[in-house]
Chain A
């Protein structure tokens, strides 16, 4: 009987999901870039680092996004960059959400001294200027990879998620159905999994999406000032090189316009998706 009810709820959910425009637009844009990242390499004839063409050439049928000042294929770099962007977003955002989830959940659910000490921890991480910290740590590691960058972003951007999840846990904890479960003698862990978690799911998904987008933006900035990965390409690195090697005075806009535009599109689509999801999960916001 409970399964039938759940199935009905799921169907109703999908029904609204398909009708929500913001969600549709957002997901399609993200999917487009995801596919590009995954299979785009099949369409690029050249290696991103190879010097294959005339210097600073505008877009043409041979080089869809033109060439850099060194004669590299901008499109090939672009595809590699999009891939890196997704990796950082997923890893960095995922890690941040995970830590935020643990800290926020435990703090909100246990309360008391546990809550207080976790709050102090959160405050400290919030207050330390992560940028400055990152600058210094990057100086320590002479060779840096994408993973390191993602881990660092994950380790420093979780306080926001922790705070949000904590307040959500607090409000859910005092709801009647949890009290009921507690009174009927359910073990705390079971309560968490069967009563609180499903209600939090929607919140967690939205938090993850926000962290994903945020991680992408932070990574782009880090890459731009030269503190990103030391090898490989990312959209931020492309912009860094472009500015460093005079794309501005030379007017080779095809080198710096696509990377930033792609980031704006992906992150914007993610935010849009989030608004759509919010409407989905909170029926009150649905437009009549």
Chain B
């Protein structure tokens, strides 16, 4: 088992190294100068601008040779320093990200978990009878085929504009500041519902289809037939099928959880929700090197971590993987 994990760890480290390097490279390959941009907003006269430019270029250490910038990057990384944002100067990137992440987690965690649970239950249920299957399956397929932003727009239009039940922008009412009060919490929940619902609906379809396919596969496996031949009640057969079918679904869940940190970009655009996705978009539009780098990095680390956790989880949960390694 040590060899298995050792090899996996190595692959992850290599991937991490390569991904981080690419992350560092990309902003530097894009046209535009972040310092220029930042200064443009300050509307200084030509002389002042030039002095400030040299000052800031030096402060951000952009005047150092490329290889040195690269090494500094790694150095800073290990200190948890992701640089200072030019778009939201002088806030450090790490802080900007820290403020945005809770919104993503708040939005995505319940959406993913609930849709996983409900979708799997529904998929297993649909696999029971042919008629139910024939009506439920097309609906589920249609759901996964629906472009997410369109669903979001429809929900916003229907429940936000026409019925007026929910607001369609922001994380909480613009008239409020963050405070710990019931009205604030209420406002947050009120603003949270539509984006949450749109994500839930879209994810639900995918899980339902996956589970339904897995269950059918398990119900037609040899061990199911054997139990049938020995007169076991449907309940036992279904219980075994469900338990076996859910294993790959767990992998899927872990994968989705891993990408939480990437935020739900489109959701945040449709509903103006201040998460990481929204942040990345703004950072690019304002050519903020460091913010882009930082967000990207954050996402990469999250994804790698999630993948690694899946591998561990699978070994624990599926005896076939565990025992199969003996033969390695």
Q: Which residues of B contact A256 (CB under 8 A)?
A: 150, 153, 157
Known interface pairs A221-B266, A225-B266; A132-B145 also in contact (CB < 8 Å): no
Known interface pairs A248-B161, A260-B154; A136-B284 also in contact (CB < 8 Å): yes
Q: Which of B27, B31, B162, B281 contacts A225 (CB 8 A)?
A: B281
In the assembled complex, A111 has its CB within 8 A of some CB on chain B: no
In the assembled complex, A133 has its CB within 8 A of some CB on chain B: yes
Docked-complex contact B262 and A264, CB < 8 angstroms: no
In the assembled complex, B223 has its CB within 8 A of some CB on chain A: no
Q: Which residues of B contact A113 (CB under 8 A)?
A: none
Q: How far is the CB of A272 from chain B (nearest CB, A)?
A: 6
Q: Which of B32, B156, B269 has the most CB of A within 10 A?
A: B269
Q: Which of B19, B137, B147, B162 contacts A124 (CB 8 A)?
A: B19
Docked-complex contact A263 and B30, CB < 8 angstroms: no
In the assembled complex, B141 has its CB within 8 A of some CB on chain A: yes
Q: Which residues of B contact A268 (CB under 8 A)?
A: 141-142, 145-146
Docked-complex contact B11 and A259, CB < 8 angstroms: no
Docked-complex contact B26 and A133, CB < 8 angstroms: yes
Contact digits for B263-301, partner A, Cβ 8 Å, 1 yes 0 no = 001100110000000001100100100001001100110
Q: How far is the CB of B122 from chain A (nearest CB, A)?
A: 17
Contact digits for B157-168, partner A, Cβ 8 Å, 1 yes 0 no = 100111000001
Contact digits for A101-136, partner B, Cβ 8 Å, 1 yes 0 no = 000000000000000000010011001110111011
In the assembled complex, B115 has its CB within 8 A of some CB on chain A: no
Docked-complex contact A221 and B149, CB < 8 angstroms: yes
Q: Which of A132, A236, A257, A275 contacts B154 (CB 8 A)?
A: A257
Q: Which of A132, A260, A287 contacts B295 (CB 8 A)?
A: A132
Q: Which residues of B contact A265 (CB under 8 A)?
A: 145
**B36-56 with Cβ < 8 A to chain A:** none
Determine the distance from Cα of A217 to Cα of B206 in the docked complex, in whole angstroms.
Answer: 14
Docked-complex contact B147 and A263, CB < 8 angstroms: yes
Q: How far is the CB of A267 from chain B (nearest CB, A)?
A: 4
Docked-complex contact B284 and A140, CB < 8 angstroms: no
Q: Which of B18, B30, B142 contacts A136 (CB 8 A)?
A: B30
**A213-268 with Cβ < 8 A to chain B:** 213, 217, 220-221, 224-225, 236, 239, 242-243, 248-249, 251, 253, 256-257, 259-261, 263-268
Known interface pairs A139-B30, A221-B147; A127-B142 also in contact (CB < 8 Å): no
Q: Which of A131, A220, A261, A266 contacts B262 (CB 8 A)?
A: A131
- Closest residue to A217 on the B side, CB-wise? B147
Docked-complex contact B307 and A127, CB < 8 angstroms: yes
Determine the distance from Cα of A216 to Cα of B211 in the docked complex, in whole angstroms.
Answer: 24
- Closest residue to B130 on the A side, CB-wise? A287
Docked-complex contact A129 and B299, CB < 8 angstroms: yes
**A124-175 with Cβ < 8 A to chain B:** 124, 127-129, 131-133, 135-137, 139-140
Q: How far is the CB of B308 from chain A (nearest CB, A)?
A: 11
Q: Which residues of B contact A213 (CB under 8 A)?
A: 145
Contact digits for B110-144, partner A, Cβ 8 Å, 1 yes 0 no = 00000000000000000000100000011001101
Docked-complex contact A127 and B14, CB < 8 angstroms: no
Docked-complex contact A220 and B147, CB < 8 angstroms: yes
Q: Which of A128, A251, A264 contacts B19 (CB 8 A)?
A: A128
In the assembled complex, B107 has its CB within 8 A of some CB on chain A: no
Docked-complex contact A239 and B303, CB < 8 angstroms: no
Q: How far is the CB of B115 from chain A (nearest CB, A)?
A: 18
Q: Which residues of A contact B161 (CB under 8 A)?
A: 248-249, 251
Contact digits for A265-284, partner B, Cβ 8 Å, 1 yes 0 no = 11110111001000000001
Determine the distance from Cα of A129 to Cα of B137 in the docked complex, in whole angstroms.
Answer: 30
Docked-complex contact A123 and B30, CB < 8 angstroms: no
Docked-complex contact B141 and A124, CB < 8 angstroms: no
In the assembled complex, B317 has its CB within 8 A of some CB on chain A: no
Known interface pairs A129-B296, A132-B296, A248-B160; A225-B26 also in contact (CB < 8 Å): no
- Closest residue to A287 on the B side, CB-wise? B130
In the assembled complex, B72 has its CB within 8 A of some CB on chain A: no
Determine the distance from Cα of A87 to Cα of B259 in the docked complex, in whole angstroms.
Answer: 29
Q: Which of B150, B168, B266, B304 contacts A264 (CB 8 A)?
A: B150
Q: Which residues of A contact B19 (CB under 8 A)?
A: 124, 127-128
- Closest residue to A285 on the B side, CB-wise? B216
Q: How far is the CB of A180 from chain B (nearest CB, A)?
A: 26
In the assembled complex, B22 has its CB within 8 A of some CB on chain A: yes
Determine the distance from Cα of A249 to Cα of B162 in the docked complex, in whole angstroms.
Answer: 9
Q: How far is the CB of B10 from chain A (nearest CB, A)?
A: 10
Determine the distance from Cα of A135 to Cα of B287 in the docked complex, in whole angstroms.
Answer: 11
Docked-complex contact A271 and B144, CB < 8 angstroms: yes
Docked-complex contact A139 and B287, CB < 8 angstroms: yes
Contact digits for B8-32, partner A, Cβ 8 Å, 1 yes 0 no = 0001001100110010001101111
Q: How far is the CB of B326 from chain A (nearest CB, A)?
A: 20
Determine the distance from Cα of A123 to Cα of B138 in the docked complex, in whole angstroms.
Answer: 32
In the assembled complex, B148 has its CB within 8 A of some CB on chain A: yes
User: 5 tightest CB-CB pairs across the interface, nearest first?
Assistant: A260-B150, A268-B145, A267-B145, A264-B146, A220-B147
Please name 6 pairs of A and B residues whose Cβ atoms are closer than 8 Å in the assembled complex, sorted by A. Answer: A132-B280, A132-B292, A136-B292, A217-B148, A224-B269, A263-B146
Given A251-B162, A256-B150, 8 extra CB contacts under 8 A? A120-B11, A124-B15, A129-B300, A132-B295, A136-B27, A137-B26, A260-B149, A270-B145
